[in-house]
A and B are shown apart, each in its own frame.
Chain A
Amino acid sequence: MTTPTMEMAIREDSLFSKFGQWCQRDKRGAVSLLVLMIIIGIAIFAPWIAPHSPTEQDFSKMLMAPSAEHWLGTDDLGRDVLSRLIHGTSKSVYAAFLAVGVSLLIGVPIGLLAGFLGGWIDIGISRVIDTLLSFPAIVLAVAVTGAMGIGLTNSMISVGIVFSPHLARLIRARALVIREELYVDAARCFGASTIRLLVKHVTPNAIQPVIVQCTLLLALALLAEASLSFLGLGVQPPDPSWGQMLARAYMYMEITPEQMYAPGLMIMVTALTFNTLGESLRVALDPTMKGL
């Protein structure tokens, strides 16, 4: 039968060496992973990095231009913009991941079931999805937040709920195709349960467009957080978040226009990082793309 040398020949690479190979192959992906690590690092270590308190007000130094003491100036209540930016990182990143996590948790199983089982279940779920998609997203999110109570967590859960029909519809369309695939029939012949078919065969083959959509949604969630905080439904003052800082800077645009750049830039860089990382993840998870 199989000799020891054959066993040797098919030993799989360790996860660590696989990761090393991936960094070599996908340099852009490795860089965006590094940037994401830095952003998460800033979020975790904010109290030690920030030069000032993010909430301490100094009414003698309101709306100051950047200086040696306040690198990015001060806002309308005399708070240090750089410190608020650093402390806002954790709120914004938390908000984005929470919203997308909730939409994945709701959207993916529902879409999988609708697409894979079909019939009346599919018809019912699809009508509900269509109904939800016909509402303007922000209005719906405001309504759901209103029902659940204001605050960052509740408002981002409602953003997640509002996003979930997009993911459900996307994965339903893929599941609809994949349930007809021969490899699903083959697994069925060996006695595979519906759960196993969904987890082992349908999901891995259907998830690709969902990953790409998620990276777009992460960026959208950052902006949704800004909008909801602007309306007073998200982050509650005096806590900072990028979106809320951007909204506040917008009000004083004519006096200190430069204060919009910092939070705007952070939102852009983070969104861009999510996008490139999502693309890299998509390629890394697709065995047919190896070596391209």
Chain B
Amino acid sequence: MSTTVSQSKQQHPQNIVTVDNLKIHFPLKGGQTVKAVDGVSFQIRAGETLGIIGESGSGKSTVGRALVGLLKPTEGTLRYGETDISALSAAEYKRLRKNYQIIFQDPHAALNPRMTILQSLVEPMEIQNEGTRESRRKTALASLERAGLAPEIALRYPHELSGGQKQRINIARALTVHPQFIVCDEVVAALDVSVRGSILNLFADLQEELGLTYAFITHDISVVAHVSQRVAVMYLGNMMELGPTDSVIEQPLHPYTQALLSAEPRPVPSDMREDRRIQLQGEIPSPASPPSGCRFRTRCPYATDRCKADAPDWREVAPEHWVSCHYTTPSGVEQ
């Protein structure tokens, strides 16, 4: 019995999060609904970093908030390990959810302005009822040190610190309850370019030391390529492509990913590039009234009547490489 379990674990590294057909809809006044996320399925494996990229309004942040239980799925299931979280009692969920944390884009807004840093740092342990007053204080200071800050900062208030320091405090606060999984929602987008690198390195060090799993949400492809093993591409509430970072970046299979990657600036004059920049027509449609069939068809250079009629299946086109497009083959788009 135990051997078969360990064997199956070796074949499929344990999934820390499993998302199945997740839908998150927001009702609007007048009966309309915004389909921010509309049927997304993926797994996040223990120890990996999954990059999630997409433009504004693609639903990537909505997915991130749903992963840590800040938004209730309209439809679909979310499992932590093997546990369906909608089936848990309030007390069980409270104990489990501390393992699943999020770091937000705006480090200042994520800290209560009326609490000292120390108060903010001990709060997660107070909520989870862990340790004594003294031990919580010790853990908080150790965590602060781990995030690269001096303990003297503990008695200050958020407005007295810089953006980079505040983001380190947010990280330290999450670490106080020893999470397994952290959603990083545009964690460096609000920071000065000069401190971005050091914060990204901190995330990498923590992953190596503590075996953390990340979902790294960003619109910055260069960041994703740098930090993640697998990458998911979102467009208008759907997932377009998901695969190992190398193959998605080197050989994108979905027309949207191809366009997205060709828009990334490169240090080569345009005349000397081998490939052409793909210019998308029009704007991203409103998630309140998305196009029929394939979400991307209104801007896709390959779109046909079939794309208008049927939504494409989520297919494993190449090993480990999933694409949602009728015309994708392992070598690219063919019609």
Q: Which residues of A contact B (CB under 8 A)?
A: 1-2, 6-7, 9-10, 12, 181-183, 185-192, 196, 200-201, 204-205, 285-288, 290
Decide if A10 touches B159 in the complex (CB within 8 Å): no
Residue on A with the closest CB to B108? A182
| Pairs A–B under 8 Å by Cβ, sample size 25 | A2-B141, A2-B142, A2-B151, A6-B141, A7-B141, A10-B141, A10-B152, A12-B155, A182-B106, A183-B111, A186-B170, A186-B173, A188-B69, A189-B69, A189-B100, A190-B97, A190-B123, A190-B177, A192-B123, A286-B114, A287-B114, A287-B116, A287-B157, A288-B157, A290-B157
Complex interface: chain A residues within 8 A of B104 (CB): 182, 185-186
Residue on A with the closest CB to B111? A183
Interface centre among A183, A201, A286 (most CB of B within 10 A): A183
Contact among A2, A182, A196 with B127 in the assembled complex (CB-CB below 8 Å): A196
Contact among B70, B100, B113, B127 with A288 in the assembled complex (CB-CB below 8 Å): B113
Decide if B98 touches A190 in the complex (CB within 8 Å): yes
Residue on A with the closest CB to B93? A191
Decide if A188 touches B112 in the complex (CB within 8 Å): no
Contact among B98, B115, B173 with A191 in the assembled complex (CB-CB below 8 Å): B98
Given A2-B138, A9-B151, A190-B177, A205:B110 Cβ within 8 A: no
Interface centre among A10, A200, A286 (most CB of B within 10 A): A10
Interface size on B, residues (CB 8 A): 40
Tell me if B145 is interfacial: C-beta within 8 Å of chain A: yes
Complex interface: chain B residues within 8 A of A183 (CB): 109-112
Measured in the bound complex, the distance between the Cα atoms of B161 and A288 in whole Å is: 12
Decide if B68 touches A189 in the complex (CB within 8 Å): yes
Contact among A181, A188, A201, A205 with B70 in the assembled complex (CB-CB below 8 Å): A188
Given A2-B142, A2-B151, A205:B102 Cβ within 8 A: no
Per-position contact with A for B142-179: 1 when CB-CB < 8 Å, else 0?
Answer: 10010000011011010100000000001001000100
Decide if B151 touches A6 in the complex (CB within 8 Å): yes
Per-position contact with A for B94-106: 1 when CB-CB < 8 Å, else 0?
Answer: 1101101110101
Decide if B141 touches A192 in the complex (CB within 8 Å): no
Measured in the bound complex, the distance between the Cα atoms of B145 and A6 in whole Å is: 11
B82 to chain A, nearest CB (A): 20
A8 to chain B, nearest CB (A): 10
Complex interface: chain A residues within 8 A of B157 (CB): 287-288, 290
Decide if B114 touches A2 in the complex (CB within 8 Å): no
Measured in the bound complex, the distance between the Cα atoms of B156 and A287 in whole Å is: 9
Given A205-B114, A287-B114, A288-B157, A182:B124 Cβ within 8 A: no
Measured in the bound complex, the distance between the Cα atoms of B65 and A200 in whole Å is: 22
Tell me if B325 is interfacial: C-beta within 8 Å of chain A: no
Complex interface: chain A residues within 8 A of B155 (CB): 10, 12
Tell me if B231 is interfacial: C-beta within 8 Å of chain A: no
Per-position contact with A for B286-329: 1 when CB-CB < 8 Å, else 0?
Answer: 00000000000000000000000000000000000000000000
A186-B110, A192-B123, A288-B157 are known contacts; what are 11 more A-B pairs with Cβ within 8 Å? A10-B118, A10-B141, A182-B110, A186-B111, A189-B69, A190-B128, A191-B93, A205-B114, A285-B114, A287-B113, A288-B159
Decide if B138 touches A1 in the complex (CB within 8 Å): yes
Q: Is the contact region of chain A dominated by helix, strand, or loop, or is it mixed?
A: helix
Decide if B142 touches A189 in the complex (CB within 8 Å): no
Residue on B with the closest CB to A13? B155
B212 to chain A, nearest CB (A): 15
B190 to chain A, nearest CB (A): 11
Residue on A with the closest CB to B145? A2
Residue on A with the closest CB to B125? A190
Residue on B with the closest CB to A180? B109
Complex interface: chain B residues within 8 A of A285 (CB): 114
Decide if B152 touches A1 in the complex (CB within 8 Å): no
Measured in the bound complex, the distance between the Cα atoms of B155 and A7 in whole Å is: 12
Complex interface: chain B residues within 8 A of A189 (CB): 68-70, 97, 100-102
Interface centre among A181, A188, A189 (most CB of B within 10 A): A189
Complex interface: chain A residues within 8 A of B173 (CB): 186
Measured in the bound complex, the distance between the Cα atoms of B69 and A5 in whole Å is: 40
Measured in the bound complex, the distance between the Cα atoms of B285 and A245 in whole Å is: 72
Residue on B with the closest CB to A204? B114
Complex interface: chain A residues within 8 A of B116 (CB): 287
A188 to chain B, nearest CB (A): 6
Given A9-B152, A182-B109, A287-B113, A190:B118 Cβ within 8 A: no
Decide if A201 touches B112 in the complex (CB within 8 Å): yes
Residue on B with the closest CB to A187? B123
Decide if B114 touches A1 in the complex (CB within 8 Å): no
* 6 residue pairs, one from A and one from B, having the closest CB atoms: A191-B94, A190-B124, A182-B109, A287-B157, A182-B110, A183-B112
A284 to chain B, nearest CB (A): 12
Complex interface: chain B residues within 8 A of A182 (CB): 104, 106, 109-110
Measured in the bound complex, the distance between the Cα atoms of B94 and A187 in whole Å is: 12
Measured in the bound complex, the distance between the Cα atoms of B104 and A7 in whole Å is: 30
A177 to chain B, nearest CB (A): 12
Complex interface: chain A residues within 8 A of B151 (CB): 2, 6, 9-10
Residue on B with the closest CB to A188? B70
**A-facing residues in B158-206 (Cβ within 8 Å):** 159, 170, 173, 177
Decide if A191 touches B113 in the complex (CB within 8 Å): no
A207 to chain B, nearest CB (A): 9
Given A10-B141, A190-B127, A205:B112 Cβ within 8 A: yes
Given A189-B69, A287-B159, A181:B154 Cβ within 8 A: no
Measured in the bound complex, the distance between the Cα atoms of B114 and A287 in whole Å is: 6
Measured in the bound complex, the distance between the Cα atoms of B109 and A200 in whole Å is: 16
Residue on A with the closest CB to B146? A1
Interface centre among B65, B98, B109, B138 (most CB of A within 10 A): B109
Complex interface: chain B residues within 8 A of A201 (CB): 112
